[in-house]
Amino acid sequence: MEVIITPAPAIGGLVVDQIGALLDRKPTAVLGLATGSSPLVAYEELAARVNDGRLSLARARGFTLDEYVGLPEGHPCSYRSVIDHELVSRVDFAPGAVMGPDGTAPDLEAACVQYEHEISTAGGVDLQILGIGTDGHIAFNEPGSSLASRTRVKTLTDQTRRDNARFFDGDVDAVPRHCLTQGLGTIMDARHVVLVATGRGKAAAVRQLVEGAVSALWPATILQHHPHVTVVIDEPAAAQLELADYYRDTYAARELAR
């Protein structure tokens, strides 16, 4: 696990550098696209580079991590709408190149199986962008999730619903109680994971992710078993890391060696 501690304004560029390097060697790459506030800086930078001709997603594909259950098609808080607004409509993905789990399906379990099949048929995810919740969840894999889980229906914790109420005009009662989400096992199949976290509110989760014991109580800790994870965080998010100076030195030495 590589940990990069950097000023917040640099995070978007660092993440998109990883995407750009992937697209250079594989223009047909499959990207895993997280929603939420953490990846926004990366999507801003990605859109800027596509629009000025430095990158193209025209041959790439994308899969989103999760979706609320029961929100009607076109609802502004559905993750299909969010990813369209934040990224897809601003770049050159081909029509239909980005898919998400279907939270309106009449048979949700069948929809989960079909989504796993779609990811597999595409060749798997080459680079997965992640955020992390204050309780250590990734995607909607809440504390207690099986570390081997696949795409499935999950019940959201009260903490996650409170955290996400800001997207529903502050009304926690408007936040759905259920979702479809890629499982931890599904996420672990990605060839490269890039996780972004900013702010002191994420510091405890980041500490557990990087230096804590692997535990279903902190689902993101499963990433310690992944062979290629890049964690990009700002100084407030790094505030509780015991080995923060080591991570800074390691990254600085790597940059000097280039």
CA 65 – CA 183 distance, rounded (Å): 9
Per-residue model confidence (pLDDT) at position 93: 98
**Cα 152 to chain centroid, rounded:** 17
Length of the chain: 258
CA 115 – CA 99 distance, rounded (Å): 9
Average pLDDT of the chain to the nearest whole number: 96
What is the secondary structure of the chain as a DSSP string?
Answer: -EEEE--GGGHHHHHHHHHHHHHHH-TT-EEEE--SSTTHHHHHHHHHHHHTTS---TT-EEEESEEESSPPTT-TTSHHHHHHHHTGGGS-PPTT-EE---TT-SSHHHHHHHHHHHHHHTT--SEEEE---TTS-BTTB-TT--TT--SEEEEPPHHHHHHHGGGGTT-GGGS-SEEEE--HHHHHTSSEEEEEE-SGGGHHHHHHHHHS--BTTBGGGGGGG-SSEEEEE-TTTTTT-TTHHHHHHHHHHHHHH-
CA 140 – CA 190 distance, rounded (Å): 17
pLDDT digits (tens, 9 = 90+) for 202-245: 999 999 999 999 999 999 999 999 999 999 999 999 999 999 99
pLDDT digits (tens, 9 = 90+) for 25-49: 999 999 999 998 899 999 999 999 9
Candidate list 86, 116, 135, 234, residue with the active-site label = 135
Domain boundaries, given as residue ranges, for the chain: 7-198
Nearest CA-CA partner of 3 in 199, 195, 133: 195
CA 96 – CA 99 distance, rounded (Å): 7
Q: Are 200 and 235 in contact (CB under 8 A)?
A: no
- For this structure, is 135 an active site residue? yes
**Which phi and psi angles does 22 have, rounded to 5°?**
-65, -45
Which tokens hold the place of 188?
């672990």
- For this structure, is 163 an active site residue? no
Query: How do the pLDDT tens digits run along the chain, 258 residues long?
Result: 999 999 999 999 999 999 999 999 999 999 999 998 899 999 999 999 999 999 999 999 999 999 999 999 899 999 999 999 999 999 999 999 999 999 999 999 999 999 999 999 999 999 999 999 999 999 999 999 999 999 999 998 888 899 889 989 999 999 999 999 999 999 999 999 999 999 999 999 999 999 999 999 999 999 999 999 999 999 999 999 999 999 999 999 988 777
* CATH hierarchy code of domain 7-198: 3.40.50.1360
Q: What is the dihedral of CA 58, 82, 32, 120, to 10 degrees?
A: -90
With a CB cutoff of 8 Å and minimum separation 6, the contacts of 77 are 68, 71, 167, 168
- For this structure, is 117 an active site residue? no
Candidate list 45, 116, 137, 192, residue with the active-site label = 137
- For this structure, is 118 an active site residue? no
CA 102 – CA 115 distance, rounded (Å): 8
Candidate list 102, 116, 126, 142, residue with the active-site label = 142
Per-residue model confidence (pLDDT) at position 148: 97
Candidate list 66, 67, 102, 116, residue with the active-site label = 66
